[in-house]
């Protein structure tokens, strides 16, 4: 029996009163211990030496407890009042069908008759009730103290994990703290790696050989079972379980195993172990570990969000730098080499090679790279290499584990590669090879490698341009890169500000970090989505692209969702087929004007009119906002770095159109762009901005084709009218 708490004054008073009631000279409450011995818990008027319990009356006390029957006998026992007891009566104290001790009564004269023994038995019943209550209180106090201690340590763990943004630091801190919380001899943390295996990432107090070989498939062994089922597990002693797993360390006497459960999946497993002979764990400790494991999993997910956010930021900056290189007018080969070094360094690749097609697309040559050493590899044939054929010929992105068999396009510095096509429009002109010494390429890495291949196409073609057609194509790519550069500047600024907010939240108020992370992630992913949508449009060469009215309608829908403005849309006249450069100009002017309304107008109503008349299409966008001084704004735009209005004007003029802007303070703003249907033939080497019609490579728009399209579409109701129920 666990030792009850001894309250000052309670038991002495209780026994004094009970001795008077039973008419005895002394009383003792003797408890049965776990090792079979007996020990005096409390006594009244007894001065017996230590160990008297087992020697008294020929073992009457142990026999009374074992046999659950009163035992009496002669015994000289010294009392505190100076007298000597001559006889004793030991009666078992029984609680919930268990003999927990004995009540021993003493008399200085006379024997204990059966009636006396019956009275002492009644007293033993009263003592049993009091002992049980006292023991329950003691247990509750002990449990409360343990819970309080664990909760304190858990709160400290949460505070320690909150500012950590590195998974290894989180695991190391949590492992050490869990050993303290659970008084464990060993703690280990296993995480699911990209291959789907559980791998030990942190451990304390365990044998090095056990930790080193602790790698498990999901569903395999104890940890694998917990990871698969997502349920905590309590183990005691030698593990031989019907579920098919067994222990690997025979020295372990008890263990708690709990899943690190994230919001949507199990991230790993935590093991807490005690050595053989220390049965210190039960269901209560198991639930405690499961709760703490959720705290650790939450910290790991926050760290992963920060890592992804940082990766998104790096990718956005990489694309920004690539677009800047495309616009430069320096030496193309030098720019290509700079791009290769920048990509390898920023994205932490050990090897990066830009391989470009030669000799009728049968060979690839390294035009720029990093990680190949001073002696560059020779040209490599496409034929016979399945990965190269897939990336170059089929325009697909591959993940390749080359192992020890290094291919001609590879380097000794890497064993795992991603191969992505380098594209110009729909045509593959080479292969981008990126490699790492170890580690794993995630699906997101493959996706971004595809985007890099699209971006590098413009840079590579500028480097290999030899004739006027290539120079015209390079100029067009620079113009589109400028569009991308200007459009991304504000979005990237927002991402950087959101990341700085996350950093401040980590240092000052970790509770707001999830909100800051969510916002930064949304901004970064939206930015990357815009980039990838643009690159997808660059590769579209079919007639499935969106029409101009549909593109304008989507821009209007975006404005409504972003600002809550009421926007009226109207289409006048019969929809006409337009040259791609005209449609591109209209879309960009509409996009900039609607962006200005959302950011600056502070109005409640806007109206968009797309009017097809006999010889031109007119876009009119009007709002009831606060207005602005047009002349002053345009005059100071360059000094302030604001090129939106100038850009709209230049776009209109580039297709022989014109732009008019009227605005007064407090009277709203009107933007009107008029574009002639025939702006002159123009060579189009790349597709339009996302959402505009296709622009076929090398195709000149002939006036007679436009006229045929007009006649064919003349009697149709306009798209915007059909979309919004207007005629």
Q: How confident is the model at residue 542 (pLDDT cuts 50, 70, 90)?
A: very low
Residue 25 has pLDDT above 90, yes or no: yes
Same domain, 590 and 688: yes
Q: Is residue 668 part of a domain?
A: yes
> Of 141, 171, 196, at which residue does a domain stop?
141
> Of 402, 433, 464, at which residue does a domain stop?
464
Bigger pLDDT: 488 or 632?
632
| Interval 666-670 mean pLDDT | 90
| Interval 445-465 mean pLDDT | 80
CATH number of the structural domain spanning residue 358: 3.30.450.40
- CA nearest neighbour of 506 among 159, 152, 174: 159
Distance CA 366, CA 373 (A): 13
| Interval 288-310 mean pLDDT | 86
Same domain, 123 and 178: no
Residue 326 has pLDDT above 80, yes or no: no
Q: Are 83 and 50 in contact (CB under 8 A)?
A: no
Between strands 363-370 and 351-358, the pairing is antiparallel
Distance CA 566, CA 579 (A): 31
Coil, helix or strand at residue 133: helix
Q: Give pLDDT, residue 138.
A: 62
Q: How confident is the model at residue 697 (pLDDT cuts 50, 70, 90)?
A: very low
- CA nearest neighbour of 580 among 611, 548, 608, 610: 548
HSE of 42, CA atoms in CB hemisphere, 13 A: 19
Q: Please work out, in degrees rounded to the nearest 5, the angle formed at the alpha carbon of residue 640 by the alpha carbons of 635 and 641.
A: 105
Distance CA 722, CA 549 (A): 10
C-alpha 226: how far from chain center: 21
Q: Give pLDDT, residue 45.
A: 93
Q: Give pLDDT, residue 618.
A: 94
Q: Is residue 509 part of a domain?
A: no
Q: Is residue 507 part of a domain?
A: no
Domain membership of residue 44 as a residue range: 10-141
Same domain, 281 and 359: no
Same domain, 420 and 548: no
What count of residues does the chain have? 727
Over 519-567, what HEC string results? HHHHHHHHHHHHHHHHHHHHHCCCCCCCCHHHHHHHHHHHHHHHHCCEE
Distance CA 167, CA 178 (A): 16
What percent of the chain lies above the pLDDT cut of 90? Answer: 17
Sign for the CA dihedral angle at 507, 511, 516, 518 comes to positive
| Interval 4-32 mean pLDDT | 80
Q: Give pLDDT, residue 726.
A: 39
Distance CA 584, CA 548 (A): 9
Distance CA 42, CA 59 (A): 19
Same domain, 359 and 239: no
- CA nearest neighbour of 316 among 437, 157, 494, 177: 494
Q: How confident is the model at residue 149 (pLDDT cuts 50, 70, 90)?
A: low
C-alpha 490: how far from chain center: 26
- CA separation (Å) from 409 to 362, 429, 457, 649? 14, 16, 19, 48
Q: Is residue 538 part of a domain?
A: no
- CA nearest neighbour of 42 among 27, 54, 57, 52: 27
Q: Give pLDDT, residue 530.
A: 62
Helix 332-346 and helix 283-327, axial crossing angle in degrees, nearest 10: 170
Q: Are 535 and 447 in contact (CB under 8 A)?
A: no
Same domain, 394 and 460: yes
Q: Give pLDDT, residue 638.
A: 60
pLDDT tens across 429-440, in order? 999 999 988 767
Same domain, 698 and 556: yes
Residue 369 has pLDDT above 80, yes or no: yes
Q: Give pLDDT, residue 703.
A: 29
Q: Give pLDDT, residue 721.
A: 39
Look over the chain and give the mean of its residue pLDDT values, rounded to a whole number: 77
Residue 694 has pLDDT above 70, yes or no: no
Q: Give pLDDT, residue 488.
A: 59
**What residues form DSSP beta bridges with 427?**
424
Helix/strand/coil percent split, the chain, to 5: 45, 25, 30
Distance CA 109, CA 463 (A): 120
- CA separation (Å) from 724 to 251, 550, 556? 75, 11, 12
Neighbouring residues of 607: CB distance < 8 A, sequence distance ≥ 6: 567, 568, 569, 570, 620, 621, 622, 623
Distance CA 151, CA 155 (A): 6
Q: How confident is the model at residue 608 (pLDDT cuts 50, 70, 90)?
A: very high
Strands, DSSP E only, in 215-318? 215-217, 233-236, 252-261, 266-275
Q: Is residue 527 part of a domain?
A: no
Q: Please work out, in degrees rounded to the nearest 5, the angle formed at the alpha carbon of residue 608 by the alpha carbons of 603 and 609.
A: 150
Lowest pLDDT segment from 20-34, 129-143, 711-725: 711-725
Distance CA 216, CA 196 (A): 9
- CA nearest neighbour of 270 among 188, 211, 202, 167: 188
Lowest pLDDT segment from 108-122, 329-343, 464-478, 513-527: 464-478
Phi, psi of 424 (to 5 degrees): -130, 105
DSSP 389: I
Distance CA 218, CA 352 (A): 34
Q: Is residue 146 part of a domain?
A: no
What total number of domains does the chain contain? 4
Strands, DSSP E only, in 411-546? 416-424, 427-436
Residue 674 has pLDDT above 50, yes or no: yes
Bigger pLDDT: 535 or 61?
61
Bigger pLDDT: 690 or 644?
644
Q: How confident is the model at residue 483 (pLDDT cuts 50, 70, 90)?
A: low
| Interval 507-526 mean pLDDT | 76
Residue 456 has pLDDT above 60, yes or no: yes
Most distant CA atoms of the chain, gap in Å: 137
Neighbouring residues of 82: CB distance < 8 A, sequence distance ≥ 6: none
Bigger pLDDT: 205 or 693?
205
Residue 408 has pLDDT above 60, yes or no: yes
Same domain, 207 and 262: yes
Same domain, 364 and 284: no
Q: How confident is the model at residue 551 (pLDDT cuts 50, 70, 90)?
A: confident
Between strands 605-612 and 566-572, the pairing is parallel
Distance CA 513, CA 90 (A): 68
Same domain, 647 and 571: yes
Q: Are 521 and 305 in contact (CB under 8 A)?
A: yes
What is the DSSP annotation of 602-633? Answer: --SEEEEEEEE-SSEEEEEEEE-S----HHHH
CATH number of the structural domain spanning residue 687: 3.30.565.10
Between strands 416-424 and 363-370, the pairing is unpaired
pLDDT tens across 261-277, in order? 988 889 999 998 886 55
Q: How confident is the model at residue 207 (pLDDT cuts 50, 70, 90)?
A: low
Q: Give pLDDT, residue 88.
A: 92
Q: Is residue 519 part of a domain?
A: no
Same domain, 244 and 346: no
Q: Give pLDDT, residue 430.
A: 92
pLDDT tens across 703-714, in order? 232 233 323 333
Bigger pLDDT: 88 or 304?
88
- How many C-beta atoms surround the C-beta of residue 155 within 10 A? 11
**Segment (H or E) for 401:** strand 398-401
What does pTM read for this prediction? Answer: 0.43
Q: Is residue 256 part of a domain?
A: yes
Same domain, 690 and 547: yes
**What residues form DSSP beta bridges with 660?**
672
Residue 248 has pLDDT above 80, yes or no: no
Q: Give pLDDT, residue 702.
A: 29
> Of 412, 438, 464, at which residue does a domain stop?
464
- How many C-beta atoms surround the C-beta of residue 302 within 10 A? 22
Q: Give pLDDT, residue 622.
A: 93
């Amino acid at each position: 029996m666990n030792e009850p708490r001894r309250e000052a004054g309670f038991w002495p008073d209780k026994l004094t009163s009970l001795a008077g009631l039973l008419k005895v000279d002394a009383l003792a409450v003797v408890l049965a211990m776990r090792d079979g011995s007996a020990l005096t818990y409390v006594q009244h008027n007894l001065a017996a030496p230590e160990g008297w319990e087992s020697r008294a009356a020929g073992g009457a006390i142990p026999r009374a407890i074992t046999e659950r029957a009163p035992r009496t006998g002669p015994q000289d026992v010294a009392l505190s009042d100076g007298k000597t007891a001559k006889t004793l009566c030991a009666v078992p104290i029984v609680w919930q069908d268990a003999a927990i001790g004995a009540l021993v009564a003493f008399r200085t004269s006379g024997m204990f008759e059966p009636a006396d023994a019956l009275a002492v038995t009644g007293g033993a019943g009263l003592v049993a009730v009091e002992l049980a209550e006292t023991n329950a209180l003691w247990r509750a106090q002990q449990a409360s103290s343990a819970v309080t201690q664990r909760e304190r340590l858990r709160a400290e763990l949460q505070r320690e994990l909150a500012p950590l943004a590195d998974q290894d630091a989180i695991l190391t801190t949590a492992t050490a703290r869990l050993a303290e919380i659970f008084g464990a001899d060993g703690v280990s943390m296993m995480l699911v790696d990209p291959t789907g295996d559980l791998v030990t990432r942190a451990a304390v107090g365990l044998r090095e050989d056990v930790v080193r070989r602790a790698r498990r498939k999901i569903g395999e062994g104890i940890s694998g079972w917990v990871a698969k089922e997502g349920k905590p597990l309590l183990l005691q002693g030698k593990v031989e379980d019907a579920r098919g797993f067994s222990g690997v360390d025979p020295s372990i006497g008890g263990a708690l195993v709990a899943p690190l459960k994230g919001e949507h999946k199990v991230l790993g497993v935590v093991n807490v172990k005690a050595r053989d002979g220390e049965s210190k764990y039960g269901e209560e400790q198991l639930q405690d570990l499961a709760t703490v494991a959720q705290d650790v999993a939450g910290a790991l997910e926050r760290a992963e969000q920060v890592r992804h956010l940082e990766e998104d930021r790096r990718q956005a900056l990489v694309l920004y730098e690539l677009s800047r290189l495309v616009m430069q007018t320096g030496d193309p080969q030098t720019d290509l080499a700079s791009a290769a070094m920048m990509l390898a360094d920023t994205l932490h690749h050990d090897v990066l090679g830009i391989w470009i097609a030669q000799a009728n697309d049968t060979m690839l040559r390294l035009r720029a790279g990093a990680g190949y050493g001073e002696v560059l590899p020779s040209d490599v044939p496409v034929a016979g290499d399945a990965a190269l054929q897939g990336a170059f010929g089929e325009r697909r992105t591959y993940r390749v584990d080359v192992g020890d068999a290094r291919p001609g396009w590879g380097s000794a510095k890497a064993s795992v590669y991603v191969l992505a096509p380098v594209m110009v429009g729909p045509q593959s002109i080479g292969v981008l090879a990126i490699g790492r010494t170890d580690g794993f390429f995630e699906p997101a890495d493959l996706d971004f490698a595809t985007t890099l291949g699209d971006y590098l196409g413009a840079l590579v073609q500028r480097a290999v341009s030899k004739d006027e057609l290539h120079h015209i194509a390079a100029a067009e790519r620079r113009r589109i890169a400028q569009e991308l550069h200007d459009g991304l500047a504000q979005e990237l600024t927002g991402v950087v500000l959101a990341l700085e907010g996350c950093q401040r939240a980590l240092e000052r108020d970790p509770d707001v970090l999830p909100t800051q992370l969510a916002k930064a992630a949304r901004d970064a992913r939206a930015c990357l989505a815009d980039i990838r949508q643009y690159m997808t449009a660059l590769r579209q060469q079919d007639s499935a692209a969106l029409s101009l009215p549909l593109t304008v309608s989507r821009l209007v829908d975006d404005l409504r969702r972003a600002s809550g403005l009421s926007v009226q849309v109207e289409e006048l006249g019969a929809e006409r087929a337009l040259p791609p450069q005209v449609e591109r100009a209209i879309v960009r002017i509409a996009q900039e004007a609607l962006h200005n309304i959302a950011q600056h107008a502070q109005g409640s109503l806007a109206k968009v009119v797309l009017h097809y008349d006999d010889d031109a299409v007119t876009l009119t966008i009007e709002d009831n906002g606060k207005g602005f001084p047009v002349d002053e704004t345009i005059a100071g735009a360059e000094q302030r770095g604001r090129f939106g209005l100038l850009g709209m004007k230049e776009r209109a003029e580039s297709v022989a159109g014109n732009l008019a802007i009227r605005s007064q303070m407090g009277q709203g703003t009107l933007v009107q762009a008029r574009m002639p249907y025939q702006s002159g033939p123009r060579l189009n080497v790349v597709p339009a901005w996302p959402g505009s019609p296709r622009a076929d490579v090398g195709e000149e728009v002939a006036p007679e084709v436009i006229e045929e399209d007009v006649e064919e579409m003349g009697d149709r109701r306009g798209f915007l009218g059909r979309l919004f129920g207007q005629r």
